[in-house]
Structure 1
Amino acid sequence: MGSHLPPRPEPQLVLQLAAGALQAQNLEAPGGGLGPEWQVLLGRADALAFGGRLHEALPLYQLASRHQQLRAEQLDKLVECLAQSVRIKEGLPGGGQPAAPREGDVFRCRKCQGFLFEPVSLPCGHTFCKKCLERDRAPESRCVLCKEAGGAAAGQLLRVNVILSNLLTKWFPCQVKASQLRHEGNLLYKEKKLQAALQKYNEAVSLAPNDHLLYSNRSQINSTLKACEDALHDAETACRLQPYWLKVSSDSGCTFFKYCTCIVLFNYFLFFLLIDIGDTRENSTGQHIPFEVVDPSDLDCSLCMRLFYEPVTTPCGHTFCLKCLERCLDHNPKCPLCKEGLSECLAMRKYCKTVLMEELIARYLPEELTERRKIYEEEIAELSNLNKNVPIFVCTMAYPTVPCPLHIFEPCYRLMIRRCMETGTKQFGMCISDPVKGFADYGCILEIRNVEFFADGRSVVDSIGKRRFKVIQHSQRDGYNTADIEYIEDQKVQGQEYAALLVLHDSVYDQAYTWFNSLKQALKSRILSHFGPMPAKDPDPQANPNGPAWCWWVLAVLPLENRAQLPFLAMKSLKDRLNGIRRVLTFMSRTRSR
């Protein structure tokens, strides 16, 4: 602290300033306002403050204060500008930029800036005191941190985050008890039981001597009881513990308390703005716990019995790993612990990670988190392998280049589709069923183009065929089929064989085109709406490893049983496939002519 700083005023002097201001009626102009010269002075000071020129405005306010000409409400603009300036500098909420987290702030409510009590985690993932959320309810409530909708809307039942509440009670029993006493004292204050409220706050301060909220609220109680020196002392302590914080009561009806608080804030803001605030502030809410008291099992998911990974909290207040919760909701839209309905949560299809839970795990269990992340990444890598344990949807025939829309409703396939999306492969295998092996030895890889989810958990998957494969080994994983596979490609020919292949290709294409156009219009329309138009003829029928797209389109629309279609999928000779299609088309034409 340099010698150039102004001296901090003595408490008795500030009391005199406050009392003098209340009695200085003879200095006021008619109507309760200040005289014209002081109105100009304060108007100039307010203009400088709002213009960001605080260092020019402060001497004017200070001059008015020395002349005992200021009332509490006349400092409101100054305090507002000072608070906004500090918030911008420090990256605090309300300063026009995201709050910069400080060491020890992890257990702080970003609404009241006090110790987090009865924590409630909103759908956006941010956590606040339950009382703070209840106090700020609104029809279109939004989170104060991320501005996401779905905050503490009117009528919404707020549930305490069970895991966080248990942890805070275990780690900070004194602070939790002090917060409870604070709320009890607030109720007594509203009932005008001032001495009883004061007693509650005295007990709370003895348990949590660094909680600025306790001193601020006790200051208000003391001011109501006309205990002026005690009120000023508590106001000074609150400002010293949290100089950024602004809380001048607007509904207490106690002018003396408001004036004292404004004067104290004024002097403390002036003092702290002239030095490096970060070096002198006492952190009233910074809570530190020794690493040895943190039990990793306190942060285990009750479903997988492992450390929370991507923890999400349900509206009923229970926390699970994101993937664990999704798997449970595949089977039943209820909380796995309390069985409360989560249909609304399921319909949103948006699960935000609980920020505070992630911060706690990263800070106090870094090694366990590293190991947990390694396990998760290994699982994702295994799921991403499109040769081993490839997920298999046992349903219908699918062909390369041909669209294959699917309706997903079984829990095992919900999980399978979600994993395909999470890994980024967006691919799975499609096979027809087999009475002995479970599914056929040949299939087609499908790629997901889009997924539309419904409120009840069902989904419609828009997929398209990519590559053919042969099953090497049949297996299962988490309720759905998987397989080790190898991919199939057509064998190319050259010379005279290629020339003969071109002639055959053109001939069968023309035959297929004629057959399709001979169908009744209603049937043609249904085929076109489902499979799209018939692909054009390929200039080079061997350009694609799977052969011409139109061949697969024709096979998809021909009225053949699955067992009759399967051999075409296994063929590696385009010539054999074309000849097979020609035989089917010839048979179809003869049948129709009869």
Structure 2
Amino acid sequence: MSTEEEDSSLMLEFAAQAFQAQNFQLASEIYERQVKEQKATGVAADWGLLLRRAHCLALTGKLSDACDLYRRAAVQKKVNADDLETLVSCLADHIRTREGLSDPDRPLSQLGALSCGECRGFLWEPVTLLCGHTMCKRCLEGGRGRCTECGSGSSERPLRVNVVLSNILSKWFPRLVRTGRLKQEGNALYRDGKWQEALDTYNQAISLALHDHVLYSNRAMIHFSLKSYECALQDAETACKLQPYWLKGHLRKAQSLASLGRSEEALTEFLFCLALDHGSKTAKSEAQKLLLNLLSLGNSQGDMPDILQTMSHPLRIKGNILSSQSSPSSNSNMQKLKMVQESKMSLSDVTKAFPAEPQVIFQSKCNTMKRKACSEETTWSPAPCKILKIDPTKGDDSEEDNSSDSFIDSSDLDCSLCMRLLYEPVTTPCGHTYCLKCLERCLDHNPKCPLCKEDLSEYLAMRTFCKTDLLEDLIASYFPEELKDRKTVYEEEIAELSNLNTNVPIFVCTMAYPTVPCPLHIFEPCYRLMIRRCMEIGTKQFGMCIGDSVKGFADYGCMLEIRNVEFFSDGRSVVDSIGKRRFKVLRHSQRDGYNTADIEYIEDQKVQGEEYDELLNLHNAVYDQAFNWFTTLKPALKTRILSHFGPMPAKDSDLQVNPNGPAWCWWILAVLPLESRAQLPFLAMRSLKDRINGIRRVLLFMWRSRPR
């Protein structure tokens, strides 16, 4: 290999590395130099090298220069459709940036919260996912099966319709529900190849809902199958006007334009589809094919600068509602549509803005008082009119709307368990909705749906009871006063539960001491509820008492603080807690199946002077006695104690700094093999001297009774 060839090979390697590092400008300059050197030496054009440079130019935003290279390669038949993937992606990115399509605040649907995130149409057979978002059942079945809001996947279970939401939508929008049934019938006829019957069904559906972009899009597909491309284009354009940022509508329009031979306009639409969704394989494939055909004709029939201008400004084609807004004075259709969506145009203004399309009725936001009708003769609301059942396709003269059933009562949104307005509504995989706290309490007793008895063990194991966003929004929007009252009751309950002196939850189990760890295995339903409440209200504390055959539990106990909770798939949990303060029970009671008590806290009485000196000497002597006893235990027993209770605490510099006394006293009491009844008096003692003397007597007994 000659020196020049070695240098050329090395430069190409550098260019490849620069491309890999996304330094496309440097890679382009290297490729350009290599092309010039080849041309100077009379070597035939290396089309692979030219294409690599074209990719770099496209990625650096020099679309005009890139298109010129692609055109030269296409004319010589040195490029195929797959080689244009980079150019197509760059053109789509250019459109996305130019039109601000990545803006998260752009309007999604005129139906607002009542639209499906996938099809942007009216929710038909709404399914609530585990993440709390709601979509059409058919969109989930036929699409990617993922939530369009958060990207989470749907459950592996069969998709079940949200019963409460479905009933509400049927009551509020009876005509749209009938339209949905017609759409289903039309889809079934289309799948069976009965295209003319499907067209008749969709004509009927559209007569009921002139605003539904999904209906126009689907009818466009039927016209397309019947090879009525002009009709297909007209319906697709209407769908795009009704929902400017919906991928499927623009895809239908692009396919219709391509079938009519309007290649440049079709390419524009396919590129816009990619700008809306970069993952659309159909749009990418078709755009690459059309672009290749246009580039191949560059020398004979096509004027390359004009073609590039069309692609660089893809929204300038006459009649496209998303026309370019580069001119400040231009009154584009996009601006008109935004005015419609902001409810600033009357029906006559709308028809003037879009004279070539079928009449479409838009509805402005209806601000009415509770239980008052609103006129919709010329308006289209983004959500049902407050408190009244409103069907956006009907007017005030509808007898159905004026019937007694038109009024929506808050009972439509009652929880079937507590019979109160849903608070923090949660929808199970089987489609039933309950208050979050009501559902959790039911699952404490039985991992099955309270209504249909479907097994919810997997749902329980996930521990992700996400609230149903749509129902929360509806309740907040249309029943604010009822929600305020419901929230007040809930907050009063939480405030009552947060009081650590009155109605304190009591776990009746074993002895617990201040500063001593107390791990617990929770499996009984009443204690599941108790622990969950302690966590939710933020106190993370509850009392521990031993049982009493007469009163139910002893008169003295210790508060425990939860440090961590580990949940299991069947609802059981292991609670890591530690002792805090001692208390005396003033009143025994119960709440929701577990024990509660009114309590007062206990503290050691402090001493001074000679009494303190005497106490200090006693403390030091008994501490040494306890330490010696522990160190003489068998290694296996000592290991078990250390793993459960931890090491023996050191002496405190101030015996009375802690109201419960030195921590080692409670540690040794927990370790000593005493019955609960023998341990209880130590918990009730208010004298540290008496407690230490009691520990000394127990240690002497243990020492004397040990085998020799």
- TM-score range with shorter-chain normalisation? 0.7 to 0.9
Distance verdict in 2 for CA 1:414–1:454, change over 3 Å:
same
Q: Paired residue for 1:549?
A: 663
Q: Paired residue for 2:42?
A: none
Q: Which of 582, 586, 590 in structure 1 is aligned with 2:700?
A: 586
Distance verdict in 2 for CA 1:375–1:345, change over 3 Å:
same
Question: How big is each residue's C-alpha offset from its partner over 1:473-530, in whole Å with a ceiling of 9 and x where there is no partner?
Answer: 1000000000000000001111111111110110110011111112111111111111
Residue identity in the other structure for 1:196: E
Distance verdict in 2 for CA 1:502–1:349, change over 3 Å:
same
- The answer for unaligned runs of 5 or more in structure 2 is 1-49, 68-83, 273-314, 327-331, 342-360, 364-379, 389-407
SS at match of 1:380: helix
SS at match of 2:706: helix
Distance verdict in 2 for CA 1:348–1:409, change over 3 Å:
same
Distance verdict in 2 for CA 1:569–1:100, change over 3 Å:
farther
Q: Paired residue for 2:119?
A: 112
Residue 219 of structure 2 corresponds to residue 218 of structure 1? yes
Give the superposed CA RMSD. 3.2
Q: Paired residue for 1:271?
A: 323
Identity %: 64
Distance verdict in 2 for CA 1:187–1:263, change over 3 Å:
farther
Alpha-carbon contact 2:119-2:246 (below 8 Å) kept: no
Question: How big is each residue's C-alpha offset from its partner over 1:390-437, in whole Å with a ceiling of 9 and x where there is no partner?
Answer: 000000000000000111111000000000000110000000111111
Equivalent-residue separation in structure 1 for 2:99 and 2:205 (angstroms): 29
Q: Which of 506, 520, 532 in structure 1 is aligned with 2:620?
A: 506
Residue identity in the other structure for 1:417: I
SS at match of 2:101: helix
Q: How far has the Cα of 1:334 moved from its partner?
A: 0.3
Q: Paired residue for 1:406?
A: 520
> Map of 1:328-343 to 2, 5 A cutoff?
328-343=442-457
Q: How far has the Cα of 1:384 moved from its partner?
A: 0.6
Q: How far has the Cα of 1:176 moved from its partner?
A: 1.5
> Map of 1:88-487 to 2, 5 A cutoff?
88=101, 90-91=103-104, 104-137=111-144, 142-148=146-152, 150-151=153-154, 156-247=157-248, 248-249=251-252, 255-256=258-259, 266=315, 267=317, 268-271=320-323, 273=325, 275=332, 276=335, 278-281=338-341, 287-293=382-388, 294-487=408-601
Equivalent-residue separation in structure 2 for 1:327 and 1:257 (angstroms): 62
Equivalent-residue separation in structure 2 for 1:575 and 1:49 (angstroms): 83
Question: How big is each residue's C-alpha offset from its partner over 1:288-311, in whole Å with a ceiling of 9 and x where there is no partner?
Answer: 323232310010000000111111
Residue identity in the other structure for 1:145: E
- The answer for unaligned runs of 5 or more in structure 1 is 1-39, 58-72, 93-98
Q: How far has the Cα of 1:50 moved from its partner?
A: 9.9
Q: How far has the Cα of 1:574 moved from its partner?
A: 0.4
Alpha-carbon contact 1:120-1:129 (below 8 Å) kept: yes
Q: Paired residue for 1:539?
A: 653
Question: How big is each residue's C-alpha offset from its partner over 1:16-66, in whole Å with a ceiling of 9 and x where there is no partner?
Answer: xxxxxxxxxxxxxxxxxxxxxxxx9xx99x988995999xx9xxxxxxxxx
Equivalent-residue separation in structure 2 for 1:301 and 1:258 (angstroms): 57
Alpha-carbon contact 2:544-2:557 (below 8 Å) kept: yes
Distance verdict in 2 for CA 1:261–1:315, change over 3 Å:
farther
Residue identity in the other structure for 1:210: H
Equivalent-residue separation in structure 1 for 2:640 and 2:539 (angstroms): 31
Q: Paired residue for 1:11?
A: none
Q: Which of 544, 565, 573 in structure 1 is aligned with 2:687?
A: 573
Alpha-carbon contact 1:432-1:439 (below 8 Å) kept: yes
Equivalent-residue separation in structure 2 for 1:82 and 1:296 (angstroms): 46
> Map of 1:30-41 to 2, 5 A cutoff?
none
Residue 650 of structure 2 corresponds to residue 558 of structure 1? no
Q: How far has the Cα of 1:174 moved from its partner?
A: 1.2
Q: How far has the Cα of 1:191 moved from its partner?
A: 2.3
Equivalent-residue separation in structure 2 for 1:384 and 1:103 (angstroms): 44
Residue identity in the other structure for 2:238: T
Q: How far has the Cα of 1:469 moved from its partner?
A: 0.3
Question: Per chain length, whose mean CA-contact separation is higher, i.e. which structure has more relative contact order (CA < 8 Å, sep 6+)?
Answer: 1
Question: How big is each residue's C-alpha offset from its partner over 1:106-130, in whole Å with a ceiling of 9 and x where there is no partner?
Answer: 1110111111111111101111111
Alpha-carbon contact 1:86-1:244 (below 8 Å) kept: no
SS at match of 1:271: coil
Residue identity in the other structure for 1:288: A
Residue identity in the other structure for 1:194: W
Residue 497 of structure 2 corresponds to residue 493 of structure 1? no
Equivalent-residue separation in structure 2 for 1:76 and 1:218 (angstroms): 29
Q: How far has the Cα of 1:143 moved from its partner?
A: 2.5
Further displaced range: 388-397 or 234-243? 234-243
Distance verdict in 2 for CA 1:114–1:511, change over 3 Å:
same
Alpha-carbon contact 2:556-2:584 (below 8 Å) kept: yes
Q: How far has the Cα of 1:567 moved from its partner?
A: 0.7
Question: How big is each residue's C-alpha offset from its partner over 1:317-370, in whole Å with a ceiling of 9 and x where there is no partner?
Answer: 111111000000000000000000000011111111111111111111111111
Distance verdict in 2 for CA 1:415–1:561, change over 3 Å:
same
SS at match of 1:572: coil
Further displaced range: 513-522 or 78-87? 78-87
Q: How far has the Cα of 1:90 moved from its partner?
A: 4.3
Q: How far has the Cα of 1:152 moved from its partner?
A: 5.6
Further displaced range: 406-415 or 176-185? 176-185
Alpha-carbon contact 2:545-2:557 (below 8 Å) kept: yes
Equivalent-residue separation in structure 2 for 1:513 and 1:528 (angstroms): 13
Alpha-carbon contact 1:537-1:548 (below 8 Å) kept: yes
SS at match of 2:571: coil
